[in-house]
Copies of this chain bind each other. A is one copy, B any other.
Amino acid sequence: MMGGDNGLAATAPGVAQAISQHPDLHCLLVGDADRIRTAIKGIEAQERVQIVHASESVDMHESPASALRSKKDSSMRVAINLLAQGQASACVSAGNTGALMATARFVLKTLPGIDRPAIIGALPRPDGHVHVLDLGANVDSPAEILLQFGLMGDSMVRTLEGVQRPTVGLLNVGSEEIKGSETIKQAAELLRTSRLNYIGYVEGDDIFNGSVDIIVSDGFAGNIALKASEGLAQMLIRVMREEFSRGLLSKIAALIAAPVLRSFRDRIDHRRYNGAMLLGLNGAVVKSHGAADELGFHHAIGVARLAAQNDLVSHIRSDLEEFAPVERANA
């Protein structure tokens, strides 16, 4: 566990929070041993924290191919090797997403029946959250891949959240049957005849209105939706701060409204939704947002812990095996 824009300044305290909250958690911290040792000084329960040295690190802007080829002792690679060897139950990284996906795919391989792993993440809605996949690992996904996304998302939500028949929607530009590309129409047909609780097309605004549990999308549109939402939320917080600091009366209003505004922010705080799973691999890999702070990284560790405890990967594998022939016959 390392990396990200903020490096150890965010990950080390994030580990400290997670260790203190979860008495069952053990962490292997992979990276420059000296620097990690300094960063975790003062962490309690050090007996549950172990350092694994790695001599290199993958740059945030390095190409996945270069990371894979020339960084055999990067913290990312070493961490995923530990997962492959069964020495870790899950892996969390705040590093370069493309390199993480390429490395995980190369080392862990994909599950039978899965052509391309996907990134699944949670987004807030008024009464909880919705899971969206793919968030950017795959562009130009054909219909069969979109079906695989739906199957994996369904397995995950059933396994980790205990929802019996989560609803699945397909992200499209209109809810009428006439809209969308050929790929979307084909994917809709595959989803309709699958074992999934498919409810049809959903639009961008359905992400946030609580109408669906899982949203299937190609990684291009999924990433745009995610990033646009992040950008809008950031702008709104900035504009609100500006308004509340404009003149004395506004500042007084800000003081009085502070508890309400804090409670509002907590409910939509993107850090509480940090930790996107890389689904479809022989191992539980979690991507923490590059810009995540310690609370965000702590939440990403929580996602990894939940996946490991519930043996998510085995559940996805057996779900795919059980239903694969039916899916293929229908396709």
Contact = CB atoms under 8 A, between A and B. Distances in A.
B226 A204 contact: yes
A230 interface: yes
Nearest to A210: B235
A208 B225 contact: no
A56 interface: no
A256 B252 contact: yes
Nearest to A62: B176
Interface size class of A (residues with CB under 8 A): 35 or more
A220 to B, nearest CB: 6
A68 interface: no
A166 interface: no
A326 interface: no
Contacts of A208: 228, 231-232, 234-235
A139 B185 CA distance: 12
A207 B181 contact: no
A231 B209 contact: yes
Nearest to A206: B231
A173 B229 contact: no
Given A171-B224, A253-B260, A260-B253, A181 B139 contact: yes
A53 to B, nearest CB: 29
A329 interface: no
- Which of A173, A174, A203 has the largest count of B CB atoms less than 10 A from its CB? A173
Contacts of A267: 239, 243
B256 A260 contact: no
A120 to B, nearest CB: 16
A240 B180 CA distance: 34
A318 B296 CA distance: 52
B227 A224 contact: no
A261 B243 CA distance: 8
A219 interface: yes
Given A125-B235, A173-B220, A252-B256, 18 more contacts: A61-B176, A63-B178, A124-B235, A126-B238, A139-B181, A140-B181, A204-B227, A204-B230, A205-B227, A207-B228, A207-B231, A208-B232, A208-B235, A224-B224, A224-B225, A229-B229, A246-B260, A256-B257
The 10 closest A-B pairs by CB, nearest first: A204-B227, A205-B231, A204-B228, A208-B231, A208-B235, A257-B257, A225-B228, A173-B223, A253-B257, A204-B224
